[in-house]
Amino acid sequence: MDEARISRHGSRARLWLAGGWLLIALLAAIFAPLVAPQDPLAQDLMLERLPPFWLSGAEPGYWLGTDSLGRDLLSRLIFGARIAFIVAFAAALAACLVGSTLGLIAGYFGGFADRIISRIVDVWMAFPPVLFAILLVAVLGTGLSSVIIAIAVIDWTRFCRVIRAETMGQSRMDYVENARIAGYGRIGIMLREVLPNVVPSIVALLSLEMGIAVIVEAILSFVNLSISTDDPTWGGIIAEGRLSIHQAWWVLVFPLVTLILTVLSFSQFGEGLRARFDPVLR
Amino acid sequence: MNALAKSCLDIRDLSAVLPNGLRVLRSVSLSVQPGEVRALVGESGAGKTMIGKAVLGVLPPSVRIVEGDMLLEGEDLGKLQPKARRTLIGARTALIPQDPLTALNPSRRIGPQMTDRLVRILGWSGEKADTRIRQLLDEVQIRDPERVLKCYPHELSGGMRQRVLIAAAFAAEPRLIVADEPTTALDVTVQKQILRLIAQLQREHGTAILFVTHDLGVVAKISQKVSVLYAGKVVEEAETAALFAAPQHPYTRALMAATPRYTDPLASLKPVDEAVLAGLAAEIAAADQAWRHPHG
Ligand SMILES: Nc1ncnc2c1ncn2[C@@H]1O[C@H](COP(=O)(O)OP(=O)(O)O)[C@@H](O)[C@H]1O
Ligand SMILES: [Mg+2]
C-alpha cells in the first residue's frame, strides 16, 4: 500500500518535471522569434566566444555566451528547438501510425497476417539503424522532410513489435471472447475492446520515440546530413562546439545538456502518461 | 423427434480434433431442455470448456469440428452463414465465465460495458438498457449500483465482478446460459453465495443453463440432469438424483469416491481408481478405432 503510494508519487513527480521541461522547450520553440534575445544567425567578431553570464567577461543579453563566430548560444538553442520538435512530432507520429496499425493487425488477427508482418519486421530490424538512417538521407537528399521520413521508415518496427505483443496478450483475454459471443464483428472488437487497452503503451512509446527522433536528428546534423540550410540545430551546434571545446566549453556543454534533458523528459513523460492512462496501474 | 425439436440446446455426435489429429471431443451428445440446468461434470482437461466454446461459436482456431450437429432452439448452427450464426448465438446465449477478471474489459467502466451489449443485442436505447442493468444489479444483490457502474473491473472484488457478469448474462434474457466453472476462481466463502445467486436467477428467469463443473457437490446442488465427461466422451448421463442414488458407469462411481467429503478431509486425497482409468482408456481406444474405420 505504502509502496504503491510512493511509486504513484514518484510517477506523478516524473510526469510534472518532465512535462514542465518539455512545455518550456516547446513554448520557446513556438515563440522563438519573440523569446530569443538575439538573432541566432547574426555574427559579430567583436563578440566571439563570450562566456555564460556568471563568468567574468560576459555581456548582458548573451546569457549562455556566444560561439566562435559571435552568435548568441541561447538564441541558437531556442531556434534549434524548433527543428528538434518538428522532427520529434512528425517522425514519431508517422512511425507510430504505421507501426501501431500493423502491430494491432498482426497481434489481433494472428495467422497469415501476423506471419507476413513479423517477417517484414525481422528483415527490417536486421539493418543497423544509424547506418540505415545515413543511407536513407543520402538517397533522399538532405532536408527536414528526408530526416522525418528516414526516422519514420526506420522506427515503425519498434511500435509494431511492442503493440503486436500487447495486442496478442489482450486478444487472449476472455473479454474478447465475450464480445464475440455477444455478436460483435472482429474489426469492431479490435478497435473498441482491444485498442483502448494498448493505448497506454502506444502513448508511452510515442513519447519515447519523440526523444529518439530528437537524438537521431542531432546525430544526422552532427555528421552534417540533416538540414542543409543555416538554421541552427542542436546536433549542428554540438558539432561546432566540439571544435572549440578548449576555448569555449559552453558551446558544447549547453546543447548537450539541452539534448539530454529533452530526450530524458520525453521518455519519463511517456512512462508517467502510461501510468496515468492505464486504469489498472492508476 | 418432436421432443428433440423443442430442446433449448441439442448437441448430436459432436467430434472435434486438434491439428495433430487428437480428438478432444468424441461423439458428444447432450441436450438441455428449456428452463433446465444440465450439469457437465468431469476432471480438468476432459473437454468441458471445449463443449461450451463449441456451442458459443468461440472454439480456438486450432480446434476443428469434424462431425456432429448443434441445434439451438431447433436451429442448426452448422447450416447458418457465419454472420447469421453470430447474431443468433448473440441473441439467445450468454456466458458466465470461469475467471471474472479477464472476462471484463480492464480499460472500460462497468456501466458502459454492460449497457453496450444490451444496445447491441436487443437494439434498445441506451436509457432503456441502463434501467435494465440497474434492475439486474439489484437482482444480484449489488447494493451500491451507482458506484459499481462507475468502477473499472479491477476496482471490484472477485465476487462482485462475478455478480456483475451474472447480471450481464441474464440481462438480455438469453434462452441458454453456459456457466463455465463460475465459482472455481472465487474464495470459498463467496462460492456458495454465487452458486445460490445463479440458482435463484435461473429459477426466476426460467433460463436453461449448461453448468460446467468439476465438483460433484455443485452438481448435486444446482442441476436436474447431469452428463459425466471423460477424455472428451460422455460416459454417463442421468437425472441428477438418479446419478447420485445409483451411478452406473465405473468412472462415475470412482469420481464420487474421489470427491472430497467435508466431514472427512483425508477422503479428498484419494485419486480416481487406476483400474477404472485403465478400463476407460481401453474403451476410448476402441471407440477411436471404430471412429477412424467406420466401415471396417
Ligand atoms: N487452445 C487450445 N488448443 C488446443 N488444445 C487445447 C486448447 N485448449 C485446451 N486444449 C486441450 O483440449 C482438451 C480439453 O480442454 P478443456 O475443454 O479446457 O478441458 P476442461 O474445461 O474440461 O478442463 C485438453 O486436453 C486441453 O489440453
Ligand atoms: Mg475448463
Which of these ranges, A229-243, B33-47, B103-117, has the smallest mean pLDDT? Answer: A229-243
| Domain harbouring B7, CATH code | 3.40.50.300
Expressed in angstroms, the distance from the first to the final Cα of chain A is: 13
Q: What atom in ligand 1 is closest to the CA of residue B180?
A: 21
pLDDT tens per residue, range A64-88? 989 988 899 999 999 999 999 999 9
8 Å CB contact of B106 and A197: yes
Q: Is A193 left (phi over 0), alpha (psi -120 to 50) or beta?
A: alpha
The answer on pLDDT for A277 being more than 90 is: no
pLDDT at B263 over 50: no
The rounded distance, in Å, linking the Cα atoms of B39 and B130 is: 32
Interface pTM, i.e. ipTM = 0.85
Those residues whose beta carbon sits under 5 angstroms from the ion ligand 2 are B 49
Q: Using the beta-carbon criterion (under 8 Å), do A175 and B117 form an inter-chain contact?
A: no
Instruction: Please check whether residue B206 is in contact with residue B8, taking contact to mean a CB–CB distance below 8 angstroms.
Output: no
Q: Is the pLDDT of residue B1 over 60?
A: no
* Confidence bin at B195 (pLDDT 50/70/90): very high
Mean pLDDT, chain A, as a whole number?
A: 90
Q: Which residues, at least 6 apart from B29, have a Cβ–Cβ distance to it below 8 Å?
A: B11, B12, B13, B14, B234
* A82-116 per-position pLDDT tens digit: 999 999 999 999 999 999 999 999 999 999 999 99
Ligand nearest to C-alpha A172: 1
Closest partner residue to A183 (CB to CB) among B87, B105, B106 is: B87
Query: Which range among A3-12, B117-126, B146-155 shows the weakest confidence by mean pLDDT?
Result: A3-12
CA of B19 to the centre of ligand 2 (A): 20
pTM: 0.85
In terms of DSSP bridges, do strands B75-76 and B64-72 run parallel, antiparallel, or are they unpaired?
Answer: antiparallel
Q: Mean of the pLDDT values across residues B257-261?
A: 70
Give the count of domains, chain B: 1
- Please, what sign has the CA dihedral across residues B94, B97, B100, B103? negative
- How much of chain B exceeds pLDDT 70, in percent? 92
What integer pLDDT is reported at residue B262 of this predicted model? 47
Q: Sort strands B9-17 and B23-32 into parallel, antiparallel or unpaired.
A: antiparallel
CA A67 to chain CA centroid, nearest Å: 27
Is residue A5 pLDDT above 80, yes or no?
Answer: no
Tell if the CB–CB gap between A193 and B105 is shorter than 8 Å.
Answer: yes
Q: Measured between alpha carbons, how far is A177 from B117 in angstroms, rounded to an integer?
A: 13
C-alpha cell at B93: 446465449
Residue B158 three-state SS? helix
Question: For position B266, what pLDDT does the model report?
Answer: 52
d(CA A234, CA A222): 8
Bridging pattern class, strands B64-72 and B37-41: unpaired
The total number of residues shown for chain B amounts to 296
Disruptive mutation site among A112, A167, A174 for chain B (greatest number of B CBs within 10 Å): A174
Domain residues for the domain of B245 are: 3-292
Q: Which residues pair with B25 in a beta bridge?
A: B16
Q: What are the tens digits of pLDDT across the range A140-183? A: 888 889 889 999 999 999 999 999 999 999 999 999 999 999 98
CB contact under 8 A, A280 and B61: no
Q: Taking residues B196-212, what's their average pLDDT?
A: 97
Structural domains of chain A sorted by starting position, each given as residue range(s) with its CATH number in brackets: 2-277 (1.10.3720.10)
**Pocket around ligand 1: residues whose beta carbon is below 6 Å from it?**
B 18, 24, 42, 44-50, 60, 62-63
| Residue in B104, B107, B121 closest to A183 by CB | B121
- Among B110, B113, B117, B119, residue whose Cα is nearest residue B149: B110
Nearest residue to B190 (alpha-carbon basis) of B82, B100, B74: B100
Q: Provide, as residue numbers in chain B, all residues whose Cβ is less than 8 Å from the Cβ of A187.
A: none
